Chains A and B, each alone.
Chain A
Amino acid sequence: MKFPVIAFAGVTAAVIGIAGFADGNHLRKGLGDFIASAAPELAAPFGHAEGGRKGAREPGSLDVAQAGTPPEAKTPPADEPPAVDESALRYFASQGDTARLQAEISRLRALYPNWTPPDDPLAVPRNKDVQLEAMWQLYSQERYAEVRKAIAERQTKEAGWQPPPDLLERLDVAEARARLVNASDLKQYETVIQVGARTPILLTCSEVDVLWRVAEAFAETNRQTRARDAYLYILKNCDSEPERLATLQKAAAALPYAIVQELLSYERPNASGTLEFESIRDDLARRFVAEGEDDATLAVDPKYLQRVERLVETQGTASDALLLGWYHLRRKNMSAAEQWFRRAREKQDSASASQGLALTLIDRKAPEEAEKVLYPWRDASADALATYMAATANLLAIEPPVVLTGEVLQRIAQETIKARDPATAQQFGWYARTLGQPQTALQWFSTALSWKPDDEPSAYGLAITRHQLGDTAGTAEIQRLWAGRSERIARLGEPEKPAAPGQLPTPPVQGPQPIAAASGQPAVAVIRRQGSLPVRVGTAPRQVVRRTIGCRETVDPSHLSPQAALARGWCLMDMNRPLEAAQAFEVALRAPASAVREDAAYGQSLAYLRAGLTSKAAVAATKSPQSRARVAELQTAILADRAIAAFDAGRYRETLIFLDQLRRISTERTDLMVLRGYAYLNLNRFTEAKRIFEAAAATGNRDARRGLADVSREQEIWPNK
């Protein structure tokens, strides 16, 4: 600690008007700055009401302190010995409290550079004023209300008696400190910041806990740069090694990667010659890599990745391997991700490791292994189940169909029914058709439709299968139900035109044919296979004739024409291979025709969304102007993903921000209402949580009902006499 009292002299001189306090040499641009600029209203003369003298406080007194120029008139002439209040010194001396005594001597020295401390402080005569002595005693026992009472009592009895300014000042500060801590414990962050701003003397190296609390208050109220300033202040000015270490730990927990890197640049060597944060470097590296998992655009310094890699080698922890797996998965480094997930599973199999591995396997078109890997963990979380179901849908969608054992088919069917997953049910339908079991196909398509009545592909599957089986009435029934909603269902049974390229209906906008279909596949093969995630908004009749044949083989799309790449992109989307689809759309984005680019950007955004790469989806959406409906659709999906990610990361305020943005463009889905409810609950905003849960529960949502119960558990019932 260089000098314990930041801006003390200036504030005190300006506020209290005690001559002789100010000394320009000691006045530093203080921490009051960052508070005042964050909350300029706090510089107004509203007193913190300790003692009667606050009425004398002048507007902008905080600014005076920050300007670094104490009022000239308050500086005493250098040759006059200052009138130093030594009553605290005497009291601590009389108590033999040498620690406090030393602190008081340093404090007085800092305040009064001309003051000479007594040669033998312990020999300083006791305060002769017994009542004052008692007040100091109460003060040192932190019995502040009793000090206040004693002062007021004496003022009533002895007209004109005034307590020593030092006692009042210390009492004000001690009470403000206690109040700040109380408010901080109760998450009343505005109060924390207000009290801190009005009591700049608290914002010093000797009160690091207060600084931490103020920093937390800023971080919790979305003022990250202010929080950074507070942590930075400590790292620049304060010397206690344990406190510096804790400061960095707190900052790393509260602030984003880039700011923490800046703070790390203030690391110093410690007494033993090593860098002071070395002991937490492993944890920091883990933290940064984990942050990189949340944000695919974050460029984490390779040194942190290497550090975590070394940890896997030396400590063999599965959790570290997992961190790396997810980090790479988020960046589409699929083979690296696969390698780390396998490492993690070797150390210790877990839901997360198996899920990650399954995702990489799905991505490299090995859904059979994905299903196998994830089957034991399918019930570990909603996420794991979703991945498992995606693996099963992909597995069944492979063409030509993979031969699966009865055992595997049986368990997939079981899980599909348990999870009521329309996508896999639909794929079961197609799978059954391919294997020549139309009756089974009918059952699966019907089941999928019962779970998701607006699932057009299942309806289509049902219709063509009935049609194939000669069930005219059944086909007509579907056509009636889907009239106006699906052209391909409507056209079923019409005489088919040969599927030659030149005779295909063309999209309304663009001239060139969408695809040069390679073969004369029957029109019935026009099957849109889609996952349960984002699907394309039907725009033009084009969707009906889109051909999904011709994307089974792995092809480098960069050699395709933009048109062909676009068609391949949609085809891959229908095959639920979003990452390859994104690549194909990327090629299509080079098209000169704006309509193709628009379609490609839209497709790529959907593809990234389906792959869980929200940030990339957001970027893709901006690559070409989109129609309003599509913009709304993409925005909705992106914001929902972000809200969920923010919630999972414990960033509840951010969650609410995303949900609010979302609410501006579309009505809130019930599951997101529940998310909002829990975000409120975690922020202790019980009333709002209750209201939203009630609204969601009214739709019969079970999670919302559970949310309601959680709210009432959190909230104490009051008041009753």
Chain B
Amino acid sequence: MRYLLIFALLLAALAGRAEADERQGSVKADAWAQYKSKFLDPDGRILDDANGNVSHSEGQGYGLLLSLLANEPADFEQIWSFTRRELLLRDDGLAAWRWSPDSDPHVTDINNATDGDILIAYGLALAAERWGRSDYSQAAATIARAILDKTVVKHGGRTLLLPGIAGFSAADRDDGPVINPSYWVFEALPVLDRLVPSPKWQALGADGKAMIQGMKFGPQDMPADWVSAKTTLKPAAGFPREFGFNALRIPLYLVRSDQSDREMLLRLQRGMSGPQGELLTRDLESGAVRATLTDPGYRFVNHILACVLEGTKVPEDSRAFRPTQYYPSTLHLLGLSFVEEKHPECL
């Protein structure tokens, strides 16, 4: 164990432990405690309570990231234990995307979901830096390499992210490659680049941003959840043509990555903000509102846009976190953490 100690201390020193500690807790302890009491089971699994309590690689990735932002290494360890043991099973080093409590084996589809892989690798990479854990950084590097090798592809001069290994490529679909713009977790790319350096990360980020900029579908010029990148970008066949539950997190990822384009954010804000700050999803054919989402987690995406674009304060009742459902509550905590860190003036 002596080796372990020395090694850990060395790493901690390298990563700048003092600095890490100062940054702790952009997710507040109380909010995290509420989140995990509702969505984290003792086995380290993040439950998607709106979908029959299944789990996704994405949810595990969010769980890792949020426990890191809450500076809770013990919870992080617990979530990671499940993630590795139950999902990180694929021969290629990526995670199986879905785990169902009622099936045996629990993984019913071995395909991956690339945003899940990115979130897991990102959480691990940050945790390795903050807590000096070389095992985390090794695991993150393995996933990052697999992401680069298996899911980052060049097509038509663009660097793209395939949403999954199976089913989206040019070979798999007539309108392929099909991408999901909300799988670009922009803030993760430079972190993964530090871990596994490659010019592809930068290209992926730049082309992702440019593509989202170019996705002007429907009367409101909004991005779609699923987009064919075969030639000119258009909503993918076989998926609902909508700005929906996937795409609504695009602005969150954009502002969190710190390089948001004001024009684009204004356009998104016009398309997705209801009169009372509700979040609107839209049919991209007619421009009609598909759903008016009032959950505080969804509304928070609009609050962030208002804060970043106009300096508007986050309404009082949205500053406190109360868990509702897995997905909006996750967005809520990511949003709160962002405002806490980068725009305290809005609180």
Contacts and interface: CB of A to CB of B under 8 A. Distances in A.
Interface of A: 16-18, 46-47, 49-56, 143-146, 148-153, 155-156, 162, 165, 175, 178-179, 182-183, 185-191, 684, 686-687, 690-691, 715-716, 718-719, 721
Nearest to B116: A719
A145 B82 contact: yes
Interface stretch (B70-78, B258-266, B268-276): B70-78
B135 A182 contact: no
Given A52-B135, A55-B135, A146 B85 contact: no
Contacts of A687: 166-167, 169, 171-172
Contacts of B4: 51-53, 55-56, 162
B139 A718 contact: no
7 contacts: A17-B2, A52-B7, A52-B135, A55-B11, A149-B74, A149-B75, A162-B4
A54 B136 CA distance: 10
B110 A145 contact: no
Contacts of A145: 42-44, 77-79, 81-82, 85
A714 B105 CA distance: 15
Interface stretch (B91-99, B201-209, B228-236, B335-343): B91-99
B246 A49 contact: no
Nearest to B2: A17
A716 B97 CA distance: 12
A695 B107 CA distance: 30
A686 B171 CA distance: 12
A186 B90 CA distance: 8
A188 B1 contact: no
Contacts of A47: 134-135, 138
B142 interface: yes
Classify chain B: how many residues form its interface, as a range: 35 or more
B91 A188 contact: yes
A690 B169 CA distance: 13
A29 B9 CA distance: 36
Given A55-B11, A145-B44, A721-B246, A49 B105 contact: no
B113 interface: yes
B5 to A, nearest CB: 8
Nearest to B240: A720
Nearest to B71: A156
A521 B86 CA distance: 79
A578 to B, nearest CB: 42
Contacts of B80: 148
B11 A143 contact: no
A686 B166 contact: yes
A686 B110 CA distance: 11
B245 interface: yes
A188 B96 CA distance: 11
A165 B1 contact: yes
A55 B7 contact: yes
A721 B48 CA distance: 10
Interface in B119-162: 132-136, 138-139, 142
B290 interface: no
Contacts of A52: 4, 7-8, 132-135
B102 to A, nearest CB: 14
Given A49-B135, A53-B7, A143-B42, A179 B85 contact: yes
Given A52-B7, A56-B4, A721-B245, A182 B86 contact: yes
Contacts of B171: 687, 691
A179 B81 contact: no
A662 to B, nearest CB: 21
B97 A179 contact: no
B218 interface: no
A520 to B, nearest CB: 64
Nearest to A142: B43
Nearest to A687: B166
A49 B244 contact: no
Given A144-B81, A145-B81, A191 B91 contact: yes
A56 B7 contact: yes
Top 10 A-B pairs ranked by shortest CB distance? A55-B134, A145-B44, A56-B3, A190-B91, A53-B4, A149-B78, A145-B81, A152-B74, A49-B135, A153-B74
B327 interface: yes
Contacts of A175: 81, 84-85
Contacts of B132: 52
B110 A143 contact: no
Contacts of A50: 135
B105 A721 contact: no
Given A55-B7, A687-B172, A718-B97, A149 B84 contact: no
B312 interface: no
B288 interface: no
A187 B96 CA distance: 12
